[in-house]
Structure 1
């Protein structure tokens, strides 16, 4: 009898509809991640990144559109004596609303401040956010920053980063 009630309770829980999340509104939060930078010649390096972000999303049913500003400290030492100090990004987001989860793509502009010079380039990536409870979201993002003619003419610098983030929705 107890096993039957337990099976019924589990079945009812699994059959319950996923709670819809309204992604519309402003948010802000903190993140930590890992960056891998590939520069000209032997100027490669990796290290921890950390920073803050703020943005606004608009939920249009199953599609969510938004924009975000992000600032990360990096302190990534590159071979050859260079150092990446910070990344700042202006990102546009477009995603699909899966109820408590949001899968999205990112495109925008990025700025890297380094000992080799400062450069503006493109950023793009993928992410997924999950609403833990009302107003608190955890997310993960993979981002690629592409910079041309960085520091030295005709030299490229790229950065791949994976960030774990906590956001508070207002």
Structure 2
């Protein structure tokens, strides 16, 4: 019983300090959440393109440097975007680095870039890169929402000679630990 009380007290104290830190604009810590949005995909072959819904999970860590915030993250998105008969983009995952400027103590304008991989239902997958920008706002203790636009490039997709570029626009919600 004494151990349970100590554990509950410790968790409550840590949660309260994390909530105070987040409401005061301290961005340091881990986060996890969901994102949902729209993807527009083009290729270097006329008529092979598509667009549709995309969404998934986000995980990462940010470090607050006073007016600036830097971080590393991971995104995984599911999709079902048809490009041509029998070809669908099924998923995209990203490893990202981001750096941003706090425009207010709870608002962050940031740039982001990194490694991406896109997978299809029958043409395999391909590595590529992406770059983008976003705005994130802490809206409640430990909760933030963001909007993010990313541009992706995948050259010579699965050695087919097809170059693919994609633009995604997503809304994100995260719980910040």
Given the two structures, how large is their TM-score scaled by the length of structure 2? 0.82
- Alpha-carbon separation, structure 2, partners of 1:82 and 1:61: 47
- The 5 A counterparts of 1:19-168 are 20-41=24-45, 42-98=47-103, 99-114=105-120, 115-168=122-175
Q: Could you say what the CA RMSD is over the residues aligned between the two structures, in angstroms?
A: 1.3
Aligned length, in residue pairs: 152
Q: CA deviation at 1:20?
A: 4.4
Alpha-carbon deviation of 1:80? 3.9
CA distance in 2, matches of 1:122, 1:80: 26
Task: Tell me how far 1:154 sits from its aligned partner.
Answer: 3.2
Answer whether contact 1:124 1:143 (CA < 8 A) is retained: yes
Q: Please report the TM-score for the alignment, with normalisation by the length of structure 1.
A: 0.86
3-state SS, counterpart of residue 84 of structure 2: coil
Distance in 1, Cα, partners of 2:56 & 2:84: 24
User: In the TM superposition, what is the alpha-carbon distance from 1:153 to its structure 2 partner?
Assistant: 3.9
Measure the CA separation in 1 of the matches of 2:158 and 2:58: 27
Structure 1, gaps ≥5 residues long: 1-18
Runs of 4+ in 1 over 4 A off after TM superposition: none
Any unmatched runs of 5+ in structure 2? 1-22
